[in-house]
Amino acid sequence: MAKKKEPKNKKSVSNEEFNLYQVAMGQFEKAAALMKLNPVVHTILSQPKNEIIVNFPVKMDDGSFKLFKGYRIQHNNALGPYKGGIRFHPEVALDEVKALAAWMTWKCALVNIPFGGAKGGIKFRPWEHSQDEMMRITRRFTFALGNNIGPEFDIPAPDVGTNEQIMVWMMDTYISLRNASDAHASKHIVTGKSLSSGGSLGRKKATGQGVFYMIDQWAKDNKLDLSKSTFSVQGYGNVGSNAAMILSKTGAKLVAVQDHKGCIYNKDGINAVKLAEYVKNNGSVDGFSGAKKFGKNDFWKTKVDIIIPAALENQITPEVANMIDAKLIAEGANGPTSKEGEDILLKKGITVLPDILANSGGVIVSYFEWVQNKKSEHWDLEEVDFKLKKLILRAYEKTRDTVKEYKTDWRTGAYIVAIRRLEKIYLERGIFP
Ligand code: GLU
């Protein structure tokens, strides 16, 4: 029987076969082999410490009850309390959250903040629920997690599908279940809160700001004049829109944007600020008057200097990588590039600044928020941005040196820096008993 021709747009790995944890472990194994990681530490780091799954009922607005499945994966806490976001999305699954939790461990170790790695989520479609239902789902999930989270133990934050409001509900629920005398001392149970409820200035834009610092430094190192450069962004949520608005200030031209509903293009440049306003009101870039509509493949084929994938994982598949004509990919999202996709990009001479480095600005400022809460302080924006720049650039430089030392790619270089820190601690402390 003649083989059916593959549809052009099909991912090389079907969704059933695609396993994000295997992708994350593949990256880990590559670095572990190159750096000759201690075998005991290797074994410890290859699985998360705790995998928590909770099923909990929530009352819907119409009086019916629905059962929800929530996850919290605590990957590692050798460097400090578990830390990582909470994702609300229909694709949330155990192996996805395990991968995302592992990435948090490497991310925090790489940028040298005293946190371990965790991730959580609920598998559902948030856009199908009212504000009241969202509140009850969030509160019931927080209740179900109980003492598995804590301000000195495991600290959640926003991720895909969650925001400041969700964090404030989590904080309020956690605090309400404790003694009144502990209430204020527990504010740092979550980060990414609204300013009025104890959040930090600069946290909302932090991931996008960090993406910008990374692009800016790479451009300086590689003599790319940002004011004459072009870029495209996939996903125009918090990370994509902030990165685009900040990068645009250099004179760099945003020429193409893709999101879940459509793609837009303007060779003369898209106004990043106006687009952010449009998305806030319309939920998508689709229909924005300052650009013309075009196809999904055209988005990837558009020649630009820089691409910022800031949507979901597994977007740059081999097919997509073959279409790309760019100098730099700065990963705003976690896991946007598949293993095979990355191999193609590297062969083409395209640099990939990996997620654990490029999008680490979010957790860095989460750390600042946590410290401010503990000390009852409020830092001004200049201080937050200055400290963020210092930490993220230090991680960039360490990674750059490691890339040279091991003659490897940036992802593997970043992993080596992160894993070395963990290896050192394990070897110093030994394994109990
Ligand atoms: N969800 C973000 C990330 O993937 C932020 C995590 C945090 O601030 O704890 O890095």
Q: What is the pLDDT of residues 265-295, one digit of tens each?
A: 999 999 999 999 999 999 999 999 999 999 9
pLDDT in the model for residue 180: 78
Residue whose C-alpha is closest to residue 423's, from 415, 433, 432: 415
Compute, in degrees rounded to 10, the torsion defined by CA atoms 30, 36, 39, 40: -100
For range 144-155, the mean pLDDT: 98
Instruction: Give 47-64 pLDDT, tens digit per residue.
Output: 999 999 999 999 999 999
Examine the pLDDT at 16 and tell me if it is beyond 70: no
For range 253-261, the mean pLDDT: 97
Q: What is the DSSP string of 340-364?
A: HHHHHHHHTT-EEE-HHHHTTHHHH
* Contact (CB, 8 A) for 134 and 168: no
The CA–CA distances, whole Å, from 314 to 12, 142, 148, 335 equal 11, 29, 30, 6
For range 161-169, the mean pLDDT: 98
* Contact (CB, 8 A) for 342 and 411: yes
Residue whose C-alpha is closest to residue 233's, from 211, 206, 203: 211
Do 227 and 138 fall within a single domain? no
pLDDT in the model for residue 76: 98
Q: Is residue 68 part of a domain?
A: yes
Q: 159, 209, 331: which to mutate for ligand 1, most atoms within 8 A of CB? A: 159
pLDDT in the model for residue 150: 97
The end-to-end CA distance of the chain, in Å, is 61
pLDDT in the model for residue 228: 98
* Angle between helix 206-221 and helix 361-375 axes, rounded to 10 deg: 130
Question: Taking all residues of the chain, what is their mean pLDDT, rounded to a whole number?
Answer: 95
Do 210 and 303 fall within a single domain? yes
Q: How far does the centroid of ligand 1 lie from the alpha carbon of residue 262, in Å?
A: 26
How many domains are contained in the chain? 2
Examine the pLDDT at 11 and tell me if it is beyond 60: no
pLDDT band at 432 (very low <50, low <70, confident <90, very high): confident
Tokens of 231: 């870029």
Q: How far does the centroid of ligand 1 lie from the alpha carbon of residue 167, in Å?
A: 12
Determine what percent of the chain falls in helix, strand and coil, rounding each to the nearest 5. 50, 15, 35
Percent of the chain at pLDDT above 70?
96
**Residue 395: its H or E element:** helix 381-406
Q: How far is Cα 264 from Cα 259, in angstroms, rounded to an integer? A: 9
pLDDT in the model for residue 183: 77
Residue whose C-alpha is closest to residue 37's, from 425, 418, 420, 431: 420
Do 191 and 213 fall within a single domain? no
Which residue intervals of 146-205 are DSSP H helices?
Answer: 164-176
Tokens of 123: 């598998």
Q: How far is Cα 205 from Cα 381, in angstroms, rounded to an integer? A: 11
Angle at 357 between CA 218 and CA 234, to 5 degrees: 80
Instruction: Give 306-356 pLDDT, tens digit per residue.
Output: 999 999 999 999 999 999 999 999 999 999 999 999 999 999 999 999 999
Q: Is residue 369 part of a domain?
A: no
For range 358-374, the mean pLDDT: 98
pLDDT in the model for residue 182: 77
Do 162 and 132 fall within a single domain? yes
Domain that holds residue 286: 206-358
Angle at 172 between CA 388 and CA 361, to 5 degrees: 15
Q: How far does the centroid of ligand 1 lie from the alpha carbon of residue 229, in Å?
A: 29
Q: Is residue 109 part of a domain?
A: yes
pTM of the model: 0.95
For range 34-52, the mean pLDDT: 97
Give exposure, 178-204, as e/b (b: 16+ Cβ within 10 Å): eeeeeeeebbbbbbbbeeeebbbbbbb
Give exposure, 117-135, as e/b (b: 16+ Cβ within 10 Å): bbbbbbbbebeebeeebbb
pLDDT in the model for residue 329: 98
pLDDT in the model for residue 388: 98
Q: How far does the centroid of ligand 1 lie from the alpha carbon of residue 62, in Å?
A: 34
* Ligand 1 atom closest to residue 87's alpha carbon, by position in its atom list: 1
Residue whose C-alpha is closest to residue 28's, from 351, 408, 418: 418
* Ligand 1 atom closest to residue 363's alpha carbon, by position in its atom list: 8
Q: Could you say which DSSP state residue 191 is in?
A: S
Q: Which residues have CB under 8 Å from 196's CB, separation 6+?
A: none
pLDDT in the model for residue 17: 63
pLDDT in the model for residue 282: 97
Do 160 and 220 fall within a single domain? no
Q: Is residue 424 part of a domain?
A: no
Here the CATH number for the domain that contains residue 144 is 3.40.50.10860
Here the CATH number for the domain that contains residue 295 is 3.40.50.720
For range 173-187, the mean pLDDT: 87
Active site residues: 119
**Residue 404: its H or E element:** helix 381-406
Which of 328, 358, 388 finishes a domain?
Answer: 358
For range 292-309, the mean pLDDT: 97
For range 81-85, the mean pLDDT: 98
Do 216 and 318 fall within a single domain? yes
Do 87 and 142 fall within a single domain? yes
User: 366 by DSSP, 3-state: which?
Assistant: helix
Examine the pLDDT at 3 and tell me if it is beyond 60: no
pLDDT in the model for residue 367: 98
Q: How far is Cα 310 from Cα 33, in angstroms, rounded to an integer? A: 29
Do 135 and 270 fall within a single domain? no
Which residue intervals of 79-205 are DSSP H helices?
Answer: 94-110, 131-145, 164-176
Do 142 and 63 fall within a single domain? yes
Q: Is residue 81 part of a domain?
A: yes
Which of 174, 197, 220 finishes a domain?
Answer: 197
Residue closest via CA to ligand 1's atom 8 equals 363
Question: Is there an atom of ligand 1 within 6 Å of 198 CB?
Answer: no
For range 381-410, the mean pLDDT: 98
Q: 162, 331, 366, 392: which to mutate for ligand 1, most atoms within 8 A of CB? A: 366
Distance of CA 15 to the CA centre of its chain: 20
Residue closest via CA to ligand 1's atom 7 equals 363
Do 188 and 283 fall within a single domain? no
Percent of the chain at pLDDT above 90?
93
Examine the pLDDT at 6 and tell me if it is beyond 70: no
Do 223 and 333 fall within a single domain? yes
Do 222 and 327 fall within a single domain? yes
Q: Is residue 309 part of a domain?
A: yes
Q: What is the CA radius of gyration of the chain?
A: 21
Which of 145, 165, 197 finishes a domain?
Answer: 197
Q: How far is Cα 293 from Cα 296, in angstroms, rounded to an integer? A: 10
Question: Is there an atom of ligand 1 within 6 Å of 362 CB?
Answer: yes
Q: Is residue 21 part of a domain?
A: no
pLDDT in the model for residue 312: 95
Q: Is residue 236 part of a domain?
A: yes
User: 398 by DSSP, 3-state: which?
Assistant: helix
For range 105-131, the mean pLDDT: 98
Compute, in degrees rounded to 10, the torsion defined by CA atoms 71, 362, 215, 291: 80
For range 173-195, the mean pLDDT: 91
Examine the pLDDT at 5 and tell me if it is beyond 60: no
